[in-house]
Structure 1
């Protein structure tokens, strides 16, 4: 299949899934309810959340610049890394995960640094972000452990699950048999291609990348900025919650839980987390005692304001990067 056509199909399917989830979630929400909530919100807090998020994008750009090897091409300044990062976020709104390649591409053009090296730094960034997401989930569990246990019991009712398995034992055994066969043929097919070795290699590279942070010129700055990025994620969510009447009384621990669910929703391979972010954030807010309508509107407001921010700031950064001439290797002769 033509690569361009394949990519177009993936984009359409991803957007279709996002639109379907979004429609299912909001089909019963009246526009007047959304409008009333927007008008009654304290926009000073919401605008502050957007300003905090904007600062977080710059911190992310600065952190990226710390990872980039300055022995090739032109030194990457934090400001230029920030603009390239925003171009990546903008592209991600259209094509999931393509933003990582896009931001590396524009920086490679302007600074003459190899695309492979830049992609390697992005992989390391993602490994660190995954590590911090796991730490944040654990922190949320420590703070709101009773709610965590309650949610787990609701989602996984061992007794009910056991009864359903016994009631549908032939179907369950058939499903297990099919799964085993599928796994067998998948591993048999890819065994010669070294799939398992590649997976093991990936995890080895991730651990190696984490260790390599120690060799940076400013490892303390890298780790401090990583902590700051996740603190900014929390502050962005917290300030929005203060600006909306229905969520203004949430505790910091509860907001942390909402942030965790939202972060998981953003990981889904759909444009900008559309649908998945809204569904997970609304779900946890409903469990916290917020009405279904208010929970969904909260998710729409925070996601919508962040999308607007990314589009506006990302377009500015795209124009900024396009105007920079392509880097040329200095003439040594």
Structure 2
């Protein structure tokens, strides 16, 4: 039953991506879109792909720093290949890449999954904070341009929620009551649970997870970590901004437009669909529409940029998949993670 539900879930997500792609091109001149794609300046696109590869190397080094802080001393290339296999998985299996790359790292380097997963959670939290900062910056710089855009995304949803406020409050109340009952039962049977083998495994897993999450506090060189974080996002920005040069219609867009495309495109890539397909394209197309770019030119830009990055990810991830297949099981003894509350 579970495999069937997983297949159904991914099929529905794929259908959602397809529906969004249809929405993005609906009522548009497909021949014109094809012309934009065929006549794009792919020299600039090649530069963005090169930058993307550098960004992957930087992200892998940043993850290695987190693992080292968790007392998991792993070779850089093992970290890099595990990360790229995870990215490859995300193209097909939405949001499963994070778990898969941790599983790969366990097979190739013996790193406990709970520890590496904790570092990935920290990485994602940092990315969310950066994305929030970028969103605030875009809205401050281009408030008038994007006010109508934000309204179109959220006003209808807000009105719908307001109309059903009583139902939502009732659901929240029931959920809160159930949580209190669960907490009481857990507290009352805590001593018995402590003797349960499954409970002990869960507790140990959570301890390892927290060790990875708080690894950032134990970094030997926080400045280098922040530098790699900044470099990664700078690469993302330059990829979107330089890609404007691929098309005459977007060639004259300024740096603020590049920041806007980066921000809203990142939200699209974060959506729980395969590789951000559909959501990314709609978000980028809508953002460029704010800057006076036609829907045809906007979707052509999104298709070319997303397609190039997906192809790069597939190639680099495929190479890493071969590497991990050759080295799977060749693990070395690992150092156990320090207790979460210990001093660096």
* TM-score (normalizing by structure 1): 0.84
**Aligned counterpart for 1:235 among listed residues 238, 241, 246:** 238
Native 8 Å contact 1:282 1:295 kept in 2: yes
**Aligned counterpart for 1:81 among listed residues 74, 79, 82:** 79
> Which residue does 2:11 correspond to in 1?
12
**Aligned counterpart for 2:109 among listed residues 100, 111, 115:** 111
Return closer, same or farther for 1:297/1:328 CA change in 2, 3 Å cut-off. Answer: closer
Structure 1 residues 186-210: Cα deviation after superposition (integer angstroms, max 9, x where no partner): 333333345xxxxxxxxxxx99988
Q: How far did residue 147 of structure 1 move?
A: 2.3
Structure 2: how far apart are the matches of 1:185 and 1:156? 26
> Which residue does 2:222 correspond to in 1?
219
Structure 2: how far apart are the matches of 1:313 and 1:156? 37
Q: Determine if the alignment matches structure 1 residue 176 to structure 2 residue 165.
A: yes
> Which residue does 2:307 correspond to in 1?
304
Structure 1 residues 221-271: Cα deviation after superposition (integer angstroms, max 9, x where no partner): 111111111111101101111111111111101110111110111111111
Structure 1: how far apart are the matches of 2:70 and 2:268? 38
Structure 1 residues 255-288: Cα deviation after superposition (integer angstroms, max 9, x where no partner): 1011111011111111111111111111111111
Q: Determine if the alignment matches structure 1 residue 188 to structure 2 residue 177.
A: yes
Native 8 Å contact 1:70 1:76 kept in 2: no
Native 8 Å contact 1:61 1:81 kept in 2: yes
Native 8 Å contact 1:62 1:79 kept in 2: no
Return closer, same or farther for 1:58/1:178 CA change in 2, 3 Å cut-off. Answer: same
Q: Determine if the alignment matches structure 1 residue 287 to structure 2 residue 293.
A: no
Bigger relative CO (Cα 8 Å, ≥ 6 apart): 2
Native 8 Å contact 2:67 2:215 kept in 1: no
Aligned length: 309
**Structure 1, unaligned stretches of length 5 or more?**
166-170, 195-205
**Aligned counterpart for 1:269 among listed residues 272, 277, 283:** 272
> Which residue does 2:248 correspond to in 1?
245
Native 8 Å contact 2:84 2:316 kept in 1: yes
**Structure 2, unaligned stretches of length 5 or more?**
184-208, 334-344
Matching of residues 96-175 of structure 1 within 5 Å: 96-152=94-150, 175=164
Return closer, same or farther for 1:155/1:39 CA change in 2, 3 Å cut-off. Answer: closer
Q: Determine if the alignment matches structure 1 residue 61 to structure 2 residue 60.
A: yes
Structure 2: how far apart are the matches of 1:328 and 1:316? 20
* TM-score (normalizing by structure 2): 0.81
Structure 2: how far apart are the matches of 1:54 and 1:288? 29
Moved more, 19-28 or 309-318: 19-28
Q: How far did residue 56 of structure 1 move?
A: 0.7
